[in-house]
Structure 1
Amino acid sequence: MAASVACAFFFDAEPAGETGKHALDACALCTKPLARDSDIFMYRGDTPFCSQECRCEQMQLDAFYARQAAKAAARRQRQFSSGTEAGSGKPESREVPVAS
């Protein structure tokens, strides 16, 4: 009984008919093949890079994207805040001309 329950929770994460890419086969940035006898530079736990330069570039890209996302969120927040009446929480109504 216990064996059948254990088997019920087993699954194959790789889709049928597709060969999975091994996690440490290539640099995540430049896709250069990673040799088994060379250093691998890891970032965020499971992302391999062929060099410190590739890893640093990815870190800079991630920081840039994070800043862009923060700016966009702040912009949306300002737009939301300026689009509501003070205290009521309801958006202001405005007339918008429509071309016919």
Structure 2
Amino acid sequence: MKLLITGLLSLFLLSGCQLTTQPMSDESETIALHYNDNAAKGCTEVGTVTGSEGHWYTFFFISNKDLMIAAVNDVKNEAQTLGANTVVLQDPMAFNTSVTLLGSAYTCP
């Protein structure tokens, strides 16, 4: 009985949590992502961007692919607010329950 009550309480608490992923703004769709620093030659760095998605409770409900897409959307949205059109990403930081991306944002001709 205790297990049933604990389970129901957990579901009730999680029902109030955000289980949607980060959408990409329309303006961010044209931002190019690269893993190679050479892609930013001749560009001006405008800042550092991070993208993150996932929490300890969401990995049960959101696939790894959707977590990665949401983290990319987050990076592109941040880059767009900086006026960048290119982002060079570092290697993704993989966690069991979330995805975090770190990159440098550039304005390129």
- Scaled by the length of structure 1, the TM-score of the pair is 0.25
Which of 1 and 2 has higher RCO (CA within 8 Å, sep 6+)?
A: 2
- Structure number with the higher strand fraction is 2
- Scaled by the length of structure 2, the TM-score of the pair is 0.23
